[in-house]
Structure 1
């Protein structure tokens, strides 16, 4: 729809692994942009400008998985403007919009700057409708017919029950419930951030949104896959290895979700804290 085999498409590293896998399956060359604390683990327009041409596309996510970081509105606008000026297609993953915490940068939509961008959103996160498999796109006029053809051949249409449920999600009652979930996530976020620091894991990505903490565990391991596997086997606590999200530097990072019950988070912290000294 947007790219041909052989096109070069950039994405942040760490980043959602499905981007890399889908682009590779389509025959695109994935250009991974190493992002760290200096840019809140997000790409910038300046970083894009420094990539060797040609570049056909850029994928960004805000809030991001695995880091939870938000691209500030002025930076997202700069990225969108650079893409327009450089004839590069911007794909903006905004599926975690609505899940942002006090003190974080405000989220913005790429379409506020450029109607050439493709914006991806979903009912799965803020509305907690993960199993209904429903989302939406904002696409430029030139791509609308292609989207119709693609979705018509893949799915024909979303299930009717999913569509009815999605309409109900826009009611005041459903919004109040979703905001209640956000308040619970905020409590869990504080529990996890404070607890990790107490047990010696204190180099953490800014947890602006979503429901993840991306933690530097280089004091304990350089092999996050082995670290997470042993943690699971020894304690029953499951976290995700950073190598899933960053093939170059992810051996020193892990992703921890705080979407579950508060009691589970407290118990997980207790188990991790007891286990870490033996590593």
Structure 2
């Protein structure tokens, strides 16, 4: 008799990870001295952790302390420093007791979903969307409810879209700045969604991991300012440039604090101790991090000029984060094949849109511009030559 495979195994793949593998294989196959593969497929800053954060980790290791388990919600000093961050950046009084340090934002989402929703619950989100939202929900037996968005709404959901949902979903996920389009909800738009969710008994999950990486005129706002029932997710991976350290955090509403803590105790125990030490120190590295942001902005501005000249002129506004969402429908209706040819023929790795929008993503490509400036300039030149063939 065949063995059972759990329904969690039905979760779709996160295709960008397959693109990473293909780009690694292509790079390994290139002859010595050949120009390398330019990596625009993954949202990983080209810099490492800020110097002060790395030095704090080194000091902790040299001190010889055990660096064992912390409390499930993390080091108290780190939670207090995150609370101070909300006071300084947003003018919000967030008690440290409502802050949970997590194993990256990726570790926060299953905790939030399990605490807030039941199997079978529908959770709404804009499409295009960050793939693990839907994939984690699917693995947990919940139902992603996709709201098709386009340039008319800046690839963001609206209260009008939510009002049309009948029955109401159990939850709504928003991201501002968002992945893959880099667009933002204006503070008044986020406030309207947060207040609608609270009034309708719908749990809002606000993904704020790209806060700090903003370039346009839209201001950042946290859902914590508008709703006491929202769950806010953030991370040290993007603005703080600490992807591999695996530290994130949540701001939790009072009713989910203990449920999430119980889940965290059982699923993760705690985020890595030494990474938490480094994360706390990262708050004192703002000048270096702002230099990173200035570089991303220069990359963005360069590509917004160069890609239209190369033939890719249907681009998202890119208010924040470090992505351009390119409509390539005039060139292809098969973005996976288009990206495979781009890697094979131009040595540029980018992510096909089907990872972010299952219905319309075949005509979109996501370019990440958080790599070195020289690589972004070279990518623009390569794309121009490749598309001119």
Q: TM-score, normalised by structure 2?
A: 0.70
SS in 2 for 1:69: coil
1:263 corresponds to 2:374: yes
Residue 196 (structure 1) aligns with: 307
Determine the structure 1 residue equivalent to 2:363. Answer: 252
Flag structure 2 segments of 5+ consecutive residues without an equivalent.
1-114
* Structure 1, gaps ≥5 residues long: none
Match of 2:238 among 125, 135, 139: 125
Q: Measure, in 2, the Cα distance between the counterparts of 1:45 and 1:202.
A: 30
Q: What is the match of residue 191 of structure 2?
A: 77
Shift, 1:165, TM fit: 0.2
Partner residue of 2:178? Answer: 64
Tell me, yes or no, if the aligned pair for 1:70 and 1:104 is still in contact at 8 Å.
no
The DSSP-based 3-state class of the residue aligned with 1:91 is: strand
Out of 124, 134, 155, the position equivalent to 2:268 is 155
Match of residue 236, structure 1, among 328, 347, 361 = 347
Higher RCO, Cα 8 Å, sep 6+: 2
Post-superposition Cα deviations, 1:135-177, rounded to whole Å, max 9, x if no partner, equal 1101111100111111111221112111110110111xx1111
Q: Aligned equivalents of 1:30 and 1:132: distance in 2?
A: 29
Q: Deviations over 1:92-125 (max 9, x none)?
A: 0000000000x33101000111010000000001
Indicate yes or no: 2:162 matched with 1:48. yes
User: Which has the larger Rg?
Assistant: 2
Contact 2:350 2:365 in 1 (8 A): yes
Query: Which residue does 2:294 correspond to in 1?
Result: 183
Which stretch of the first structure deviates more once superposed, 267-276 or 105-114?
267-276
8 Å Cα contact 1:61/1:92 also seen in 2: yes
Pair 1:218-2:329 in alignment: yes
2:203 to 62, 78, 89: 89
Assess if the C-alpha contact under 8 Å between 2:246 and 2:272 holds in 1: no
**For the residues of structure 2 that align with 1:176 and 1:271, how far apart are their CA atoms?**
33
Quote how far apart the aligned CAs of 1:209 are: 0.3
RMSD, matched Cα: 0.8
| 2:318 equivalent in structure 1 | 207
CA positional deviation for 1:215: 0.6
Counterparts of 1:245 and 1:232 in 2: how far apart (Å)? Answer: 19
Paired with 2:217 and 2:325, the residues of 1 have a C-alpha distance of 16
> Corresponding residue for 1:22?
136
Match of 1:136 in 2: 249
Detail structure 1 runs of 4+ shifted over 2 Å in the superposition.
none
Q: Is the 8 A contact 1:8 1:30 kept in 2?
A: yes
Report deviation, 1:277: 3.0
| Residue 269 of structure 1: how far off its partner (Å) | 1.3
Post-superposition offset of 1:51: 1.4
Q: TM-score, normalised by structure 1?
A: 0.97
